[in-house]
């Protein structure tokens, strides 16, 4: 650890790494870190030690937890934006390994042909120095640059917003896995439209789903050569099936819709949208599989003007 820190201070290494404080305690290089161990009688917290060299950075992203950052030495520049700016930012889909992060490098010019919804965002910028603490509410976007080599400590604690995804994954999906994929697609579209109308009564569902798909999915697929069968998905069913399927589904929807509305009952519309988008992805992957996620969104929910 000492050799690494010496290399960082001399500028020999470009490093931005995090170390779990619990691991450090087991290695016991810094006995004073014992005071940072969370009280097991309190809600769980996650404590990380951050070590950064000059010019190291973390991409623009958000966390769902309450977030405190204490700078011990050195200095970091934070660029912050409220959740309401998400509709100007192309985030990765919720099922992507880099979820919660932007798809582009904010330090470089953004290609509007790939990211057509990108717009400059309203930001708050500040420099965090030794002994200073920054509080980041859940879902606040932040981009972090190390301006002076230093060490910081992050404490993430549980926030109500963290429980949304955990809660909606426990709610049964009102479709039968025995149905044909087309019938499942038809039923999922009906369910998502019903839920969207309840959660966002003042927004046309076509605008809502277009926002989701254009922000998160089109940039990923625009330049890819995707086989035709991957792009196609049919979610309309013969009229002879419609009444039977809708009656069966409506009985199940009556059971789960009130619980989903309760889970998503957040005052912040931007956070509600982001979590609703994550729910749509989760359900489609659960019922149709990952390979049919984009084909379903593009053919069943996207409104082609």
150 vs 37: which has the higher pLDDT:
150
Rounded CA gap, 7 and 12, in Å?
Answer: 5
Tokens of 216: 């998160």
Tens of pLDDT along 89-116?
899 999 999 999 999 887 788 888 888 8
**Whether pLDDT at 228 is above 50:** no
**pLDDT band per the 50, 70, 90 thresholds, residue 17:** low
| Residue from 258, 298, 268, 297 nearest 280 by CA | 297
Rounded CA gap, 124 and 98, in Å?
Answer: 24
pTM of the model: 0.87
Rounded CA gap, 87 and 67, in Å?
Answer: 22
Longest dimension (CA), the chain: 74
Rounded CA gap, 297 and 216, in Å?
Answer: 11
Q: Taking a C-beta distance cutoff of 8 angstroms, is the pair 60, 91 a contact?
A: no
* Strand boundaries in the chain, DSSP class E: 16-20, 45-52, 57-61, 66-81, 124-128, 133-136, 141-157
CA pseudo-torsion sign 20, 25, 26, 27: positive
């Amino acid at each position: 650890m000492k050799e690494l820190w010496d290399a960082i201070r001399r500028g020999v290494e470009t490093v931005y790494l995090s170390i779990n404080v619990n691991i450090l305690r087991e290695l016991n290089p810094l006995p004073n870190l014992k005071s940072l161990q969370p009280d097991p009688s309190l809600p769980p917290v996650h404590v990380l030690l951050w070590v950064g060299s000059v010019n190291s950075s973390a991409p623009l992203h958000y966390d769902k937890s309450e977030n405190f950052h204490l700078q011990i030495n050195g200095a970091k520049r934070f660029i912050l934006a409220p959740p309401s700016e998400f509709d100007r930012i192309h985030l990765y889909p919720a099922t992507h390994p880099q979820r919660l992060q932007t798809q582009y490098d904010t330090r470089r010019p953004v290609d509007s042909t790939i990211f057509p919804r990108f717009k400059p965002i309203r930001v708050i910028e500040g420099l965090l120095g030794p002994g200073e603490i920054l509080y980041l509410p859940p879902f606040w976007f932040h981009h972090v640059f190390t301006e002076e080599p230093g060490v910081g400590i992050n404490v993430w604690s549980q926030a109500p917003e963290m429980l949304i995804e955990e809660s909606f994954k426990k709610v049964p999906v009102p479709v039968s896995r025995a149905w044909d994929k087309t019938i499942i697609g038809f039923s999922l579209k009906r369910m998502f439209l019903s839920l969207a109308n309840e959660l966002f009564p003042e927004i046309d569902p076509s605008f809502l789903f277009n926002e989701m798909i254009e922000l998160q999915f089109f940039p990923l697929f625009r330049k890819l050569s995707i086989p035709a069968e991957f792009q196609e998905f049919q979610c309309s069913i013969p009229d002879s099936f419609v009444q039977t399927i809708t009656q069966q589904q409506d009985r199940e929807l009556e059971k789960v819709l009130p619980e989903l509305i309760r889970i998503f009952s957040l005052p912040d519309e931007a956070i509600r949208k982001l979590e609703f988008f994550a729910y749509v992805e989760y359900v489609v992957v659960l019922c149709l599989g990952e390979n049919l996620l984009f084909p379903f969104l593009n053919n069943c929910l996207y409104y082609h003007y």
